[in-house]
Structure 1
Amino acid sequence: MAMRDISFGSVNLLNLQLPGRPVYTDSDGWPPEVYDRKIGFTAGILSRLNADLFGFQELWAPEALQQAMDAAGMEESHLLLSPPGHAGTSITCAGAIRREMLVGEPEWIVEFPPELELRSTGDDPQQADISVSLNSFSRPVLHVQLQPDPRTPVIHAFVCHFKSRRPTQIWTERAWYSAATHSDHRTAMGYALSTIRRTAEATALRIMVTKILKRSETPVVLIGDMNDGKDSNTLNILTEQPRYLTTLATGGGDNALYTAQVLQEYRSTRDVYYTHVFQDERESLDHILVSEQFYDNSRRRLWRFDDMLVLNDHLNWDDHKDTGTTDHGAILARFKWQPAQQGIV
């Protein structure tokens, strides 16, 4: 790619942990032979995508990811971004960036922004009061700044991993759960709790992004496993549902985010994009969202969309815990420097 072009990748690592170290309630973790397969598979993904900035989810041990990066030949080109002092006893988001592109120090954000209030007396006389007391992300969000070239603006990038759609296991709630009362309804209630948590996380991240985007021309990118599809409420909150313009129209949204999936669909004759398979249903949970500085039809475009690639053949393999593959597809979005405004070269 040319010096001012830029590419972003997203890879869910499926609990990348050192062999024999605990993963959640599995005290034995990955057997050495499966761990070796995971490193080999991850290295192959990294080498094929070759993104300028990678966003990772489900990392336990930074040492394991560094081993995969080294095996991919990235030890000199890319810098691993992981929380300082992360001991491998919990799961986190992480990144890998071309060394010359990093601006400042990355940060991992745990607490929701103070502006977030999720309570209301309702906007309809038939509605009861509602209040949600969440104040932190399930997984720390990575915020990193990068600059592809001294002649381009600095890009703000966020790497996230929202609460899964798996129902929350409420049967462990000692304070209120009663098998006699709640057992028949625990799946529905668990799905509701997971949705509320994921919705709050999306809103918190959207507030953080708005504080950068609104009334500015700062480029912003969101990368991650958002555990919802492009038409979901989760993505609607993040993107603010911008209008995708017709071929010759120009505009763009000051506070909008555009999904690389939709940008690719406008280029394709058919949509075969999926990053996850559950009970034979193929869907897209992993996304790269970009501000109008990356949107072809924006009057404030700096980069034009080039293409999006999805590596997902491994999702049809039988046992990820044996083959060392992940249970998500890996995605790459590439953008070429081509400003829409005259006078910018």
Structure 2
Amino acid sequence: MQQEIRFATFNVLNLAPPGLRFYDGIEPYTPEQYDAKVAWLARKFDQLDADVIGLQEVFSQDAVRDVLARTSRYRDAAHIGFEPEPGKLTPSVALISRLPLAGPTAKHLDLPRGLSMPLMDLGSAVTRFTRPVLQVPVQLPTGQVLNVFVVHLKSKRPDYRNGDSENDPGSIGAAVLRSMVRRGVEALGLRYLLSDFTAGQRRPLMVMGDFNDVADAVPTQLVLGGGRSLNGHDERMFECYRLQSRRDPLRDVGFTHVHDGNFETIDHVLVSEEFNPASAHALGEVLEVAYLNDHVIFRSPDASDHGAVLVRIGIRPGE
């Protein structure tokens, strides 16, 4: 019988301590607001009951620890994350795991292979991820090591610079294009990370996070990749939603975000061929993908504006 393991990704929306101004134009949390947000997240974590959870929009790892302390299922879980870069308050990512860690973790800040992309009308170029990528090896119950990458790619929010006017169509277009370029080059950098890490070897991989784009968008397709290496190793990643064996189209409410009335799925969990049942090297399969998203419609002040994605994977015994 297969053993089930559960993975989730969740953009928690501006998890910051009280009094910290994380964005211009948004007031810091009061102690009461912070307490309500921590309590809400703790309930959602317990509701997910996932063995591994990837988080995005974390402004403070201490705040993550506060959430874990309020849960009933994650008080003893491993917590891996990093604080924002010095002098620049940018949200980061984190990972919570009830599975044992299987080695050192890594923080990928610079784009690999010397990747660099000029930005429109600017002398600078994109050479780093907007939010560094977190890589964590976890040990599956069967002994294999799964390397989990937690990501948060550049949003579609226009990237305005000095001199840009939000009332000028030309400035708006240039700012939108800068965001597209950033997201695209980050997606390519992530694909390079995955390819370089495997380098023709069969290393089970999972990528989870906020891609800020749907599955069919070009940046997401860049991460998914294509083709096989010379030794027959399939270097592609596969979207769990499309791999799941128990999909019910009559009950399918798969969205994680609502923007201008459009229901979108921009948070994804991708897996390597080891979890594609069509592969001769499969160690398991994606059983089901579920979305915890009612709070996106019935918003409360303490709730996230993203739904959580929960993936149930069956691991084959004796592999």
The TM-score range, normalised by the shorter chain, is 0.7 to 0.9
Structure 2 letter corresponding to 1:93 = V
Q: 1:267 aligned to 2:259?
A: no
Checking the alignment, whether the CA contact within 8 Å between 1:242 and 1:257 is kept in structure 2 is: no
1:338 and 2:290 correspond? no
Return 5+ residue gaps in structure 1 as ranges: 120-130, 244-251
The residue number in structure 1 matching 2:236 is 256
- Taking the aligned partners of 1:178 and 1:83, their CA distance within structure 2 comes to 32
Q: Equivalences for 1:82-97 in 2 at 5 Å?
A: 82-83=81-82, 89-97=89-97
Go from structure 1 to structure 2 and tell me whether the alpha carbon gap of 1:265 and 1:194 turns closer, same or farther (over 3 Å shift): farther
Cα distance in 2 for residues equivalent to 1:336 and 1:195:
36
Match of 1:164 in 2: 155
TM alignment of 1:153-232, pairs within 5 A: 153-170=144-161, 173=162, 177=163, 183-232=168-217
Q: Say which SS state the counterpart of residue 104 (structure 1) adopts.
A: coil
**1:89-130, Cα deviation, whole Å (9 max, x unpaired):** 4411111111x51112222211111253659xxxxxxxxxxx
Query: Which residue of the partner structure matches residue 141 of structure 1?
Result: 133
SS in structure 2 of the partner of residue 101 of structure 1 = coil
Paired position in structure 1 for 2:59:
60
Structure 1 counterpart SS, 2:78: strand
- TM-score between both structures, scaled by the size of structure 2: 0.88
Contiguous gaps of at least 5 residues in structure 2: none
Alignment partners' CA distance in 2, 1:179 and 1:281: 26
Name the SS for the 2:151 alignment partner. strand
Determine the C-alpha separation between the residues in 1 that align with 2:82 and 2:76.
20
1:19 is aligned to 2:11: no
Partner residue of 1:34?
Answer: 33
Quick check: which has more Rg, 1 or 2?
A: 1
For the residues of structure 2 that align with 1:86 and 1:310, how far apart are their CA atoms?
A: 32
What do residues 234-289 of structure 1 show as CA deviations (whole Å, max 9, x unaligned)? 1110112589xxxxxxxx96101111122248722244210000111000110000
Percent identical residues = 29
SS at match of 2:112: coil
Taking a change above 3 Å as real, the CA distance of residues 111 and 302 of structure 1, as seen in their structure-2 partners, is same
Secondary structure of 1:30's counterpart equals: coil
Separation in 2 of the partners of 1:242 and 1:310?
A: 30
Report the count of equivalent residues. Answer: 310
Work out which of the residue numbers 270, 276, 279 in structure 2 matches 1:289. 270
Pairwise CA RMSD: 2.8
CA positional deviation for 1:132: 8.9
Residue identity opposite 2:312 in structure 1: R
Q: Answer yes or no: is the 8 Å Cα contact 2:150–2:207 preserved in 1.
A: yes
SS at match of 2:131: strand
Deviation (angstroms), 1:232: 0.4
Compared CA separation, residues 241 and 231, structure 1 to 2 (3 A): farther
Query: Residues 306 and 117 of structure 1: is their aligned pair in 2 closer, same or farther, counting only changes over 3 Å?
Result: same
Counterpart Cα distance in 2 of 1:274 and 1:115: 35
Amino acid at match of 1:302: L
